[in-house]
Structure 1
């Protein structure tokens, strides 16, 4: 099948997801997504390792993302909070100080149909903003287009697409530096979940990926200041990349490590400094803790433990299991990093993927877009667990089949059953072999012999 035909069919399926099929019609959404994923596989085969397809491939990837250019996100309503926070900034108010439900009363902003739409449609009107300052800067830019929701959406989307082009550029630079197959780029560029969640649903994990890719590329070039900038940028956008800190401790030699830590600490504090203004951090932290201790969605191990210990945990199991799972994730990451050896940039990238997997599989909330940083890095490795998951995770949208969010546990079991089966058959043996090899080479082994 010719590439142009596949591309047209791909655009049609994305158009259906973005413009025609409501999220309550899960069957329709899933059908279009499955077709898009099949077309994705066909595109990978058609492009192969042929370098002459490079420019047309990048152009096609951008066109796929522009399919959503004037679409109002269907599968996620987070963007209403984005625009609300941006408009507060544009009116001179600190978004960390006001709960949307009372913002009009406290700020004196005159409500109108535009503001009421933002307030009534958002899913977070009763708590403070949880988006770090770098997020807020993009929200503010979108608000400069005026009190027009479509203009706000389009401006955010265009910014996200610009960073997607940067991601493709960085992946290509790493491919060239590491001598990887040329078709590695298309694994990311044409992935339907990436396109839908970033361009369609306006999530910022693609920008997080930009920072992490920059840090990986710079590490390979031994440019510790650029690596620090990339990682700090990712942390400043989403706090979760902080979990990669132990891996960086293992990656650098002593002299470079000190400089890397000092520079990273300075940059992260600088990027998060606006939280301190007028004690905005108090509201930010309160909402962040609320999120971690109250919400459950598309979890795996957490749901199993919740059911096993439900008799002992009472009506609010996450209050107990949440901290336990976070501690387990932190401990698992430390153990993994201790066993992992970093001799080259490829080892750093693969280590990041495993840390993300440990973290995500132990979380009580795993939205589909959470996978994007891990997936974007994983295309640079032989680990294809996250690639498989980018298809299976769409099943979690079955929870939106009605106005009330209600998850289907058989569907979630199917999602994770296939994921764990694939990991057990294909990936875990490879990981164990590598850890065994490292164990045989380690000084720690000598203590037991």
Structure 2
């Protein structure tokens, strides 16, 4: 046994040192970082990004080594509360409500607190922790999210940390599932299976999903699983799995029109019916006459009321304010509608003008749509980019990886009590992303990004 350990150490010395370094940095990230300390946050993130690049470079064919490394990095966060996001308070709140037979889509947290006698463990702490913005709106988290919140509330035993641990384990299992089905999908696409580790070891995915408890990973697990089933022609089974992805986060709805050419009219019609029926079944337990109005109103806020880490929107706002002497908050309400219409039109253009019969082309179409949406959006939180990372893994384009590093500059807003952004830092972020994307679009040979592939 000692001989084997010595041999393993000699073969993987640099990789083992990198893993130990990553564990140390993730430990500092999880247990000794205040989100107001931007220089420390930036330094840790850049170091982790460099280390994950070198680790894949050294060990890309060593599946077990990279798998264990990715799991260890995530387990570092297991027993700590998120330090870059307060959304988890609302997750636990919703789970506690359902556990006690209360529909989270029908009651505002502020409403319930004012009524008193609320049968929710740690109600005051959860209400204060979620913040005023969340407390005055109905829940916007779809049913599968609510199911996870509820399980976490039951198994957490009324403890905030207990619920966090259950949610975190769920997200870790989902990431392992993405790796499993992602490797299978890569093989179906005749691509190297090791590419899946560009997601699995990406610091943004680890910090924002496992660390800060965002459920994009659960959504992507069902999404990648569904695409794999599509790739092996089990599209009837893929439909309900795809609906599970939608019912974690609504984003995959954007891609549904693209399947029209891939399946053909008859198959796609049945696929849409199965997805729609599955979504209705999942929504049914929460249905009431006021449910649709409350939910659509809350979701609509994200298109018309918020702005964070925006690219094109900030340029438009600058022109709007200087040329028309208008108020910035007047723009965001109109702009959200313009973005929604633009994304719908862009999706329809790619649906009918791009030849999506090939799965490789279909995935690139998804990447184009989501990229366009994020470029136009007035709100691009760091964890949103994780979806782009996963899509890019199945293509030859790497600008999403660049963005997963550059987006750390948006965290500067956390260092201010009023969350004021530094537009110079955001400009650097988007110059890096746009610059690398332009390079990939105009590059020669395989690097060239064909928007309307023959």
Cα offset, 1:159, TM superposition: 0.8
2:9 corresponds to: none
Question: What is the CA–CA distance in structure 1 between the aligned matches of 2:281 and 2:315, rounded to whole Å?
Answer: 40
2:196 corresponds to: 185
60, 68, 75: which is aligned to 1:59? 68
- Residues 42, 133 of structure 1: CA spacing in aligned structure 2 closer, same or farther, 3 A cutoff? same
214, 232, 240: which is aligned to 2:243? 232
TM-score by length of 2: 0.91
Q: Is the 8 A contact 1:216 1:349 kept in 2?
A: no
1:273 corresponds to: 284
Q: What SS does structure 1 have at the residue aligned with 2:152?
A: helix
Cα offset, 1:432, TM superposition: 6.9
- CA deviations on 1:281-311 (whole Å, 9 max, x unpaired) are 3222222222321110001011111111125
Gaps of 5+ in 2: 1-12
1:120 corresponds to: 128
Cα offset, 1:179, TM superposition: 2.8
Cα offset, 1:280, TM superposition: 2.4
1:290 corresponds to: 301
Q: Is the 8 A contact 1:23 1:29 kept in 2?
A: yes
Cα offset, 1:192, TM superposition: 0.5
Question: What is the CA–CA distance in structure 2 between the aligned matches of 1:258 and 1:117, rounded to whole Å?
Answer: 47
- Residues 111, 384 of structure 1: CA spacing in aligned structure 2 closer, same or farther, 3 A cutoff? closer
2:354 corresponds to: 340
Gaps of 5+ in 1: 439-449
Say yes or no: does 1:40 pair with 2:52.
yes
2:166 corresponds to: 155
Question: What is the CA–CA distance in structure 2 between the aligned matches of 1:120 and 1:185, rounded to whole Å?
Answer: 39
Cα offset, 1:354, TM superposition: 1.4
Cα offset, 1:164, TM superposition: 0.8
Question: What is the CA–CA distance in structure 2 between the aligned matches of 1:106 and 1:225, rounded to whole Å?
Answer: 47
Question: What is the CA–CA distance in structure 2 between the aligned matches of 1:197 and 1:261, rounded to whole Å?
Answer: 31
Runs of 4+ in 1 over 6 A off after TM superposition: 430-433
Question: What is the CA–CA distance in structure 2 between the aligned matches of 1:359 and 1:283, rounded to whole Å?
Answer: 24
Cα offset, 1:107, TM superposition: 6.8
Cα offset, 1:185, TM superposition: 2.0
417, 422, 435: which is aligned to 1:421? 435
Cα offset, 1:66, TM superposition: 0.7
TM-score by length of 1: 0.92
**1:249-328 paired onto structure 2 within 5 Å:** 249-277=260-288, 279-310=290-321, 311-312=323-324, 313-316=326-329, 317-328=331-342
1:130 corresponds to: 140
Cα offset, 1:73, TM superposition: 0.3
Q: What SS does structure 2 have at the residue aligned with 1:72?
A: coil
